[in-house]
Structure 1
Amino acid sequence: MSVKTLDYTPAYPPYPSLWMGGYGGAPRGNAGQVGKRLRAQCVVIDDGVSTKVMLRVDVVSIPREVHQEIRSLVDPMIGDTADFMMIASHTHSGPFIGTTRPDPYILMGLTAADINAVAATTDVFIGQLVALVQQTINMARTPVTLWYAEGDVVIGYNRADGSAVLDTVPVMVARRTNNNALFAVLFGYACHAVARGNDKVFCSDYPGAATDRITAQLGVPAFFFQGAAGDQDPLDPHQPSQVDTLGNQLGNEVIAVVNNTGLFSEVTGPIVTAYTEVDLPLSVDLGDPAALINQSNRYYGLMGEYEPGSFGSKHAEVMTQQMEHGSVGVPTAMPMPIQRWRMGGLTILALAHEVLSPYAIKLRNQYQGGDLWVMAYANETEGYVAANYILQAGGSEHLGYEAGWIDDDTISGEGTWTTFYAYPAPLKASPDGVSQAVPGTAEHLVIQTCMNLLNS
């Protein structure tokens, strides 16, 4: 194993833009203040078969086009695309990366010049991450054994419907083969990284605080991997001091688990990897020319109904412009990468996008093959993937934010995720009155694809 950490906290220069991502509204830019440094970290594992690479980074999201560019540059270094995995921490106190999803014009009203600067910053970001991977691959390997255990802690709540609160803390440790000394700690949790709240300070939020705590106490590098946090928020109040409060709680739980060696089971190789993508359908089939024309007319009409400059007005403007180019100009589905790494004693399942907690619960309950670590915000983040019942509920749950609609499930709701991520309609749910996710709906496709990967 080889590991390397890069402090990539943006500064001008070389970063052309210091616009920040994570909160909608007025443009939010950093002016040099840093709460906790932003990290990109790489873990390289040679299992005797091939080189496996895990890249995690303190950023709110990675759009599809950025993910694909990074992957195209990393793949030649390792040979098999399934052997490369990338996870965003989802801190809302990092740079705005990419110019597509979320849409910087809809989200913050950025000008064309600002968006060009964001694009240039994205190029710097991509270059730094790819260089980090190359450097870590080139490092000498330390022979290690791997071990897995789970702790639990509650530092968040369910903001969508108040039900499931994820408390599992996955912990994998690497120990030097020659003397069993600790070499690295990989850990996870599922909770939005928004403990700091909305300000103009770069900060890795509670994951960064937890990482600092673990490294300070155990003396080895620590690596945080985000879970199915789409409906999980950190405990209030969201303010700068809460970053250390919650981060230390999480870090202390990881430390307690690591120190209790009796909890761990050995993880063995080789690592068998798989990568696939599934297209999640929207509630309206915009591949149908008649449906596309109807949706375009609806958005054209909405431009006159929303207050000028509002989220809804800007979204309707963008949708109308995209639909002028027909189905090639507007998304007709949400592509979702899903990745599996199977080891002896542990399987890692990495899901793209802002996946809600019911997916982690269902997958862990259904999988009978041993320990399962569910990660999210994996490879790319282009929107929310809600459970079927949330998609059906619309505006009756958390103002429809995670569902993507408010009072009409065939059109994006103003101020919901489909507005900010520039989608023309929410994801497809089961018909009214049908509680289970039926074939052809978003939840059914995700669960089916995941279980096929897990059982293959």
Structure 2
Amino acid sequence: MWAWVGACFGAVLACAEARADLPPVPVGVAEVDITPDYPTRMSGYESRKVEAQGVESRLKAKALAIGGDRARVVLVTVDNCAVPAKIVDEVAGRLKSKIGLGREDFAVCSTHTHSAPMLVGGIPFILGEPLPADQAGRLERYTKEVTDAIEKVALAAVQDRKPSHLDWGQGHAKFAVNRRLLKDGKWVNFGVMPDGAVDRSVPVLRVTSPEGALRAVLVGYACHCTTLEGNFTKVSGDWAGYACEEIERAHPGAKALVVVGCGADSNPQPRGKVEHARQHGAELAGEVEKVLKGSLAPVPATIQARFSRVDVPLGAPRTREALVEMAKGTGAPGYFARTHLERLDRGEDPAPPLKFPVQTWTFGDSLAMVFLGGEVVADYALRLKRECKPGGLWVNAYSNDVTSYIASKRMLDEGGYEVDHSMIYYDRHARLAPNAEDAIIKAVRDILPPAFLTPAP
């Protein structure tokens, strides 16, 4: 026992010595409520055909601004299924004009809750049908309000900056499980795949005042925010929102922000009830408490931000004949096919390339945050962690856009929802091409500093 205590004390002393060499960092945090006070159609499930019927938990947009005026980054988290690139780029342009913030210095991450209002341009065919004019009008209104809220909360966080210390560590939560049931190597349905790929790491960034008071916590976890299913008709932040509530309840005055990693092929278990969402939120919050009480690594204020967009290759587009046959159907496939046929008849390109945003923030050579713009499966984070500096990588998905599902090359032969079926909801004409994974990984490696990379395989 005393050996263990001595080891812990030594780790704390080492952390304190490293902290002594790091000056305080200007950090600001802010929050805006984005819960609508009027009915809206919610994103996430085609099966849900009604507007929201009440509020189970409030939705928030939160921001964390790190760094001084010459080197600063601003992260905004939004309780929504999919904030599209059009909104992010619009706000980025406003922030560039008002405070000179570079595009590479601004990131927006969706929590991917499936119980929040749809944003115009986000997962365009998820509702499976054109909306009545009144419902469409309310979504236009909400989209404008969220766009303004993201700008407002980002500016408020920049204005709130105070000297702070940054530290980070990692924990582990168990409620994410791989959901791709396979039979004879082929996808057959959603379920629980105990041996499937999953990333259960819980990265935590702690923000404290020079006196040691907790100001903010940024938490990551790679799991779908789908505890609440298509039969649930109230607004909710799902497990991510409840995790923030638990953390903030334990630390009055501090703000908690949740970002979602590469969990597009992971579901929370158990699921289906509000108490399950609260259970998962409590589990994540409990793991955060363990990390906060442990030995964290100091994070320097030397920030380097980079941003790029990569053309992700897709397979061959559907033929007109295939679209004509598909157009006879109902729901999202029929709606998608009829829309694409109309585009063909107007002479438009029915199959635009997938423009995939990739962003990195590095803090000295201690921590690299990667932001990927889609529903990215676990294989990508696991591969990047193999190819990058051990223990120094934090991978986020659903960032700066939610372009589509991003299946890995391994999954293409398996087929199924994440590979094929889901692409219709995102207005994609085909599955990803076999070289898509390598193109995305290369794009990340191209903008990460060499200190974070191992030699390319």
**Gapped runs of 5+ residues in structure 1?**
287-293, 395-399, 405-415, 430-440
Give 2:113's aligned amino acid. T
Q: 1:96 maps to which residue?
A: 118
Shift of 1:183: 1.8
Q: Equivalent of 1:180, from 199, 212, 233?
A: 212
Q: 1:434 maps to which residue?
A: none
Q: 1:444 maps to which residue?
A: 438
Q: Equivalent of 2:203, from 150, 170, 175?
A: 170
Partner of 2:362, secondary structure, is strand
Asked whether the 8 Å contact 1:218–1:255 carries over to 2, the reply is no
Provide the C-alpha distance between the structure 1 equivalents of 2:278 and 2:395, rounded to a whole number of angstroms: 25
Higher relative contact order (CA 8 A, sep 6+): 2
Q: 1:401 maps to which residue?
A: 417
Per-residue CA distance 1:19-70 (angstroms, 9 max, x = gap): 1111113423113x21111010011112463331110010000123222222
Q: 1:235 maps to which residue?
A: 269
Per-residue CA distance 1:386-407 (angstroms, 9 max, x = gap): 000212322xxxxx11001xxx
Give 1:272's aligned amino acid. Q
Give 1:2's aligned amino acid. G
Runs of 4+ in structure 1 deviating by more than 6 angstroms, as ranges, are: none
Provide the C-alpha distance between the structure 2 equivalents of 1:193 and 1:418, rounded to a whole number of angstroms: 19
Asked whether the 8 Å contact 1:153–1:253 carries over to 2, the reply is yes
Give 1:448's aligned amino acid. K
Provide the C-alpha distance between the structure 2 equivalents of 1:185 and 1:99, rounded to a whole number of angstroms: 30
Provide the C-alpha distance between the structure 1 equivalents of 2:358 and 2:447, rounded to a whole number of angstroms: 9
Provide the C-alpha distance between the structure 2 equivalents of 1:79 and 1:172, rounded to a whole number of angstroms: 22
Per-residue CA distance 1:358-406 (angstroms, 9 max, x = gap): 0000001100275100000001102100000212322xxxxx11001xx
Q: Equivalent of 2:139, from 104, 115, 118?
A: 118
Q: 2:47 maps to which residue?
A: 25
Which region of structure 1 is more displaced relative to structure 2, 18-27 or 142-151? 18-27
Q: Equivalent of 2:305, from 270, 273, 277?
A: 273
Distance 1:450 1:153, change over 3 A: same
Shift of 1:128: 1.8
Q: 2:226 maps to which residue?
A: 194
Partner of 2:104, secondary structure, is helix
Q: 1:422 maps to which residue?
A: 427
Q: Equivalent of 1:221, from 242, 250, 255?
A: 255
Provide the C-alpha distance between the structure 2 equivalents of 1:401 and 1:89, rounded to a whole number of angstroms: 21
Shift of 1:329: 3.5
Q: Equivalent of 1:381, from 382, 399, 402?
A: 402
Asked whether the 8 Å contact 2:129–2:331 carries over to 1, the reply is no
Shift of 1:298: 2.4
Q: 1:348 maps to which residue?
A: 369
1:249 aligns with 2:308: no
Aligned-residue CA RMSD (Å): 1.8
Q: Equivalent of 1:4, from 25, 30, 35?
A: 30
Distance 1:455 1:176, change over 3 A: same
Provide the C-alpha distance between the structure 2 equivalents of 1:333 and 1:324, rounded to a whole number of angstroms: 19
Asked whether the 8 Å contact 2:129–2:335 carries over to 1, the reply is no
Give 1:269's aligned amino acid. A
Provide the C-alpha distance between the structure 1 equivalents of 2:422 and 2:91, rounded to a whole number of angstroms: 25
Distance 1:329 1:158, change over 3 A: same
Q: 1:291 maps to which residue?
A: none
Provide the C-alpha distance between the structure 2 equivalents of 1:66 and 1:392, rounded to a whole number of angstroms: 35
Asked whether the 8 Å contact 1:51–1:78 carries over to 2, the reply is no
Q: 1:453 maps to which residue?
A: 447
Q: 1:154 maps to which residue?
A: 174
Provide the C-alpha distance between the structure 1 equivalents of 2:341 and 2:376, rounded to a whole number of angstroms: 28
1:71 aligns with 2:88: no
Which region of structure 1 is more displaced relative to structure 2, 356-365 or 418-427? 418-427
Q: Calculate the TM-score normalised by the size of structure 1.
A: 0.85
Provide the C-alpha distance between the structure 2 equivalents of 1:116 and 1:382, rounded to a whole number of angstroms: 24
Asked whether the 8 Å contact 1:27–1:108 carries over to 2, the reply is no
Give 2:369's aligned amino acid. I
Asked whether the 8 Å contact 1:26–1:108 carries over to 2, the reply is no
Provide the C-alpha distance between the structure 2 equivalents of 1:336 and 1:245, rounded to a whole number of angstroms: 34
Partner of 1:36, secondary structure, is coil
Give 1:442's aligned amino acid. A
Partner of 1:244, secondary structure, is helix
Partner of 1:348, secondary structure, is strand
Asked whether the 8 Å contact 2:163–2:209 carries over to 1, the reply is yes
- Aligned residues between the structures: 407
Provide the C-alpha distance between the structure 1 equivalents of 2:390 and 2:271, rounded to a whole number of angstroms: 39
Give 1:68's aligned amino acid. D
Q: 1:41 maps to which residue?
A: 62
Provide the C-alpha distance between the structure 2 equivalents of 1:278 and 1:241, rounded to a whole number of angstroms: 40
Shift of 1:109: 4.5
Provide the C-alpha distance between the structure 1 equivalents of 2:425 and 2:158, rounded to a whole number of angstroms: 36
Partner of 1:339, secondary structure, is strand
Q: Equivalent of 1:302, from 326, 336, 340?
A: 326
Asked whether the 8 Å contact 1:347–1:370 carries over to 2, the reply is no
**Gapped runs of 5+ residues in structure 2?**
1-26, 182-192, 451-457
1:372 aligns with 2:404: no
Partner of 1:107, secondary structure, is coil
Shift of 1:112: 4.6
Asked whether the 8 Å contact 2:125–2:332 carries over to 1, the reply is no
Shift of 1:115: 2.6
Provide the C-alpha distance between the structure 2 equivalents of 1:360 and 1:100, rounded to a whole number of angstroms: 23
